[in-house]
Amino acid sequence: MATSKEEEKKLLLENSPLYGRMSVVCHTVIFLYATAFWINIGVFPFLTKKLGIDTVIFGYLQTVSAIALLLGGPLFGRMGDIFGAKIVFLISFGGSFCFYFIMALANNAFQLFISQLFSFAMNAMQCAQMVMTDVTGTRDRAVAMGRLTVAYGLGMIVGPTLGGWVTLFFNEQYAAAAAASLMVLAFLIILVVMPIKTKDPRKVEILEIPATNNNDKSLFNFKAIFSLLLIPQVFYLIGVKTLVGIPAGIFHSMFSVVNMERFDLTPEMNGYILTYIGILTALMQGIGIKWFTSRFSDSKLIRVSIIVMSLAYLMLVPVNTIWLLGIVLIPMVMSRSLLNTGCFKHINQERL
């Protein structure tokens, strides 16, 4: 029996035979997803201005999108548990295509509101994390999750500039159409390459507990969806992320509008600014985080990150040139990356 336990422990450490192929697939589609997403982030404010939509209505559009995304997150997690990662990946990219395609055809505010409802499906990163959890062993899981952020960061660098160029040579609707076409490509990759079941059947026998109640397979089993909130550490971190996320969400939603109105930037120049943020994020993920996490505890990183982020928001008040904005963005991006990493590592350590 001891030998059997040792074999089970060794098996849980190992990666699935699907790991190599699924790693390439996930990194590819996350790059496409991030590129499309950041095309939209850079272009959307200019599209609303073109359609005669003021900043108040723009704020309502962002609110609808945020609420839809918030509701979609736990629902996608539950669907992944029931139907598997491939199905939720296809739903995510199908919904994202509708989001961008309707935006490309929109000529009034109502049509833009309809497009924002499809934000509920924009959970591709969550889907990729499901797949990587299925195909990695406990030894390599944290590293594999971290590499997904590299693929996203590359899309964050490419997307805004690509959107700015498309808008420069064509218009904002063509940029949205380009984002929609990337979602079609990602959909086809998942449809053709990814198997229905990504879990390693050998590990399923060890880890999975058979359901004793038919309600466990219900999509709207809210007890299962929100059961994580009963864990004190999770509740604490969700509270921290929520409080920090409110100002971050305001900044994120209005950043391109401020660039457009205050600094009189074109879509192309706004794309370069967003690409600059992407480069800062990539540098922080690739170099900075390793340096900070090796020297400071996760709880200290979380506290310091919140303080630095708050100061960075205050520093935005007197900013009146694009060069000063570029300087202030450095501590803002650093603190946000450290906060996300600190929270992720903290919750995983608590689980262990």
Among residues 105, 95, 322, 87, the alpha carbon closest in space to that of 194 is found at 87
Fold of 15-201: Growth Hormone; Chain: A; (1.20.1250)
Q: What DSSP line would sit under 158-171, residue for residue?
A: HHHHHHHHHHHHS-
With beta carbons less than 8 A apart as the criterion, state whether 152 and 34 touch: yes
SS3 annotation, 185-252? HHHHHHHHHCCCCCCCHHHHHHHCCCCCCHHHHCCCCHHHHCHHHHCHHHHHHHHHHHHHHHHHHHHH
- Rounded to an integer, what distance in angstroms lies between the CA atom of residue 102 and that of residue 253? 20
Q: Give the separation between CA 198 and CA 37, rounded to whole angstroms.
A: 26
- What pLDDT shows up at residue 188? 97
pLDDT at 289 (0 to 100): 73
Cα separation, 209 vs 222, whole angstroms? 19
Task: Determine the distance from the C-alpha atom of residue 145 to the mean position of all C-alpha atoms in its chain, rounded to a whole number.
Answer: 12
pLDDT per position in the chain (352 positions), as tens?
444 655 555 555 565 667 778 889 999 999 999 999 999 988 888 899 888 888 888 888 988 888 888 888 778 777 877 888 889 999 999 999 999 999 999 999 999 999 999 998 888 888 888 888 878 776 666 667 777 878 888 898 899 899 989 998 988 999 999 999 999 999 999 999 988 877 665 555 445 544 444 455 555 555 655 666 666 666 666 676 677 667 777 777 777 777 777 788 888 888 888 888 888 888 887 777 777 777 777 678 778 888 888 888 888 888 888 888 889 889 888 888 777 766 655 555 544 4
pLDDT of residue 198: 72
Q: Are 236 and 346 in contact (CB under 8 A)?
A: no
Non-local (6+) Cβ contacts of 150 within 8 A are 27, 282, 285, 286
- Break the chain into its structural domains and give their ranges: 15-201, 226-352
Inter-residue contact 82 to 60 (CB < 8 Å): no
- pLDDT in the model for residue 205: 47
Tell me how far apart the alpha carbons of residues 75 and 101 are, in angstroms, rounded to a whole number. Answer: 23
Residue whose entry in the numeric block shows the structure tokens 């990337």? 182
Distance, in Å, from the CA atom of 156 to the CA atom of 148, rounded to the nearest integer, reads 12
Reported as type and span, the H/E element at residue 324 is: helix 322-351
